[in-house]
């Protein structure tokens, strides 16, 4: 039974994911015999408690003790797994809409499950669950103290900047999600003033979608900017992601943030950096300038490459919105990004856009689009035709990466990536170019081709989102 996508499990409730399936998944993960305990956190979705308790029942049925932590960011599950040599589990659908829910799992080293572990779980789901005898079932505990331990250790790792004469104001938008308490605490501990927006937990996500896209967040920019902050920091539902806006310049491209973090890390420790296939050349340029090396890997799986090479050999891994700082841990951590950025902003007193500019992080024209097709069944044939049509429209590339979709790189350093989403029924088109004019040509040609192919296969594009 196929349940895992690009990053964990994400399905609609209850048509795809229900309590019974959650029990079976917990039983299967427990039968891997990775650890004696499992720490369970969840986001604020309306189905979170139901599925978290169902997952706990599954763990206990396999003889694993279930420690219910409660509402907390997904990175806490990874941290708990690492610190307690346990299984970490987060009941979340991350940035998906509220009708979705899902799960992410971490091994006792703090790594998100690899594809091989996911395949073992899925194989078990195809068979009848195996329950341990009555005298071997796991016990249930309620213990949220791991959240405070996480916060304390994170602050010790990053280091608190000295207090400044005037306050630095940071707008924090938690998307009504799991970080509603933790992220404001982190900002306040970094000697900045958090201005909280959407920090009341609400699984209906009433103000904005939990996906921190450009088109979602820039619509709120006038409200954010009214507080005259140094930065606007916006999470997704479970806080493994972070998007950043400048009150004047708007949305900050995620690749520039990855390049900034890479620069800061490489100033302390030279080494190898792994990034996902959809990242731009700003990362390459900054990393190479500061003595590092870059490797691209499938989206949602950069942690696997870190595990293969070893944390001692990889100083950082990243995907748009996501950062793995291997000196902290091998997991994606959006709260860590908040701590690091707030520290640098407080220390310099600069708006985030000015900070990146003064650090020499270039900005190249870019575009990210997601397409929903109707009927959903035409997505795969449209994708297959589109990967060929792009070559007809744009010419021969100098390099092709086909590890996750198709990324075509051209002689002028422009590139376009065509891939199927692993978390939603969408087609993704990502592009970058050295000039706005070249980018416009790429986007218009690919957009036109995609819509034409949708019509050819008896359907149409019903939604396009940007960012």
Q: Are 385 and 450 in contact (CB under 8 A)?
A: no
Q: What is the Cα–Cα distance from 42 to 270, expressed in whole angstroms?
A: 36
For 136, other C-beta atoms within 10 Å of its C-beta total 10
Contacts of 247 (CB under 8 A, 6+ apart): 221, 224, 225, 228, 229, 230, 231, 232, 351
Residue 224 tokens read as: 């954010």
Would residue 94 show up in a list of annotated catalytic residues for this protein? yes
Q: Are 232 and 251 in contact (CB under 8 A)?
A: no
3-state secondary structure at position 132: coil
Q: Are 140 and 72 in contact (CB under 8 A)?
A: no
Exposure on the CB side of residue 393, measured as CA atoms within 13 A: 20
Q: What is the Cα–Cα distance from 467 to 458, expressed in whole angstroms?
A: 27
CA–CA distances in Å: residue 329 to residues 15, 79, 336, 337, 395: 35, 8, 10, 13, 42
Q: What is the Cα–Cα distance from 151 to 189, expressed in whole angstroms?
A: 10
Contacts of 168 (CB under 8 A, 6+ apart): 191, 192, 193, 230, 342, 345, 346, 349
CA–CA distances in Å: residue 438 to residues 391, 418, 442: 16, 17, 6
Radius of gyration of the chain (CA): 22
Tell me 151's DSSP state: H
Nearest to 168 by CA among 250, 73, 243, 233: 233
Name the catalytic one among 54, 61, 90, 94: 94
For 84, other C-beta atoms within 10 Å of its C-beta total 18
Q: Rounded to the nearest 10 degrees, how much is the dihedral formed by the CA atoms of 42, 94, 281, 325?
A: 0
Catalytic residues: 94
């Amino acid at each position: 039974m196929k349940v895992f996508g690009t990053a964990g499990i994400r399905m609609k409730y209850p048509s795809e994911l229900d309590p019974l399936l959650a029990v079976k998944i917990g039983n299967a993960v427990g039968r891997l015999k990775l650890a004696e305990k499992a720490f369970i956190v969840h986001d604020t979705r309306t189905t979170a408690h139901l599925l978290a308790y169902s997952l706990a029942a599954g763990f206990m049925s396999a003889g694993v003790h279930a420690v219910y932590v409660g509402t907390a960011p997904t990175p806490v599950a990874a941290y708990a797994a690492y610190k307690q040599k346990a299984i970490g589990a987060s009941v979340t659908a991350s940035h998906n809409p509220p009708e979705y829910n899902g799960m992410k799992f971490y091994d006792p080293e703090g790594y998100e499950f690899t594809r091989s572990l996911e395949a073992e779980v899925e194989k078990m789901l195809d068979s009848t669950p195996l329950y341990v005898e009555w005298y071997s079932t796991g016990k249930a505990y309620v213990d949220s103290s791991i959240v405070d331990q996480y916060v304390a250790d994170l602050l010790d790792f990053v280091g608190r900047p000295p207090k400044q004469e005037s306050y630095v104001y940071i707008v924090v938008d938690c998307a009504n999600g799991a970080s509603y308490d933790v992220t404001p605490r982190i900002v306040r501990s970094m000697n900045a003033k958090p201005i909280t927006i959407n920090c009341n937990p609400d699984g209906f996500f009433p103000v904005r979608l939990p996906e921190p896209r450009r088109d979602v967040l820039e619509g709120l920019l006038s409200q954010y900017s009214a507080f005259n902050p140094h930065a606007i920091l916006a999470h997704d539902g479970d806080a493994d992601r972070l998007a950043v806006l400048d009150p004047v310049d708007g949305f900050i491209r995620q690749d520039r943030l990855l390049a900034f973090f890479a620069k800061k890390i490489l100033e302390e420790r030279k080494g190898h950096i792994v990034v996902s296939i959809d990242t731009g050349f700003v990362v390459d340029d900054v990393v190479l300038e500061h003595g590092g090396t870059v490797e691209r890997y499938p989206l949602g799986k950069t942690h696997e490459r870190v595990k293969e090479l070893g944390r001692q050999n990889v100083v950082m891994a990243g995907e748009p919105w996501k950062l793995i700082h291997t000196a902290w841990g091998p997991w994606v951590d959006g709260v860590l990004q908040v701590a690091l950025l707030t520290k640098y902003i407080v220390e310099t007193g600069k708006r985030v856009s000015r900070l990146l500019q003064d650090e020499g992080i270039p900005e190249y024209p870019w575009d990210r689009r997601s397409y929903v097709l109707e009927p959903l069944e035409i997505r795969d044939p449209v994708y297959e035709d589109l990967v060929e049509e792009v070559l007809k429209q744009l010419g021969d590339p100098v390099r092709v990466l086909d590890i996750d979709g198709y990324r075509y790189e051209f002689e002028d350093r422009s590139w376009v990536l065509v891939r199927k989403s692993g978390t939603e029924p969408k087609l993704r088109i990502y592009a970058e170019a050295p000039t706005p004019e070249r980018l416009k040509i790429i986007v218009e040609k690919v957009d036109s081709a995609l819509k034409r192919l949708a019509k050819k296969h008896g359907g149409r594009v019903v939604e396009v989102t940007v960012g």
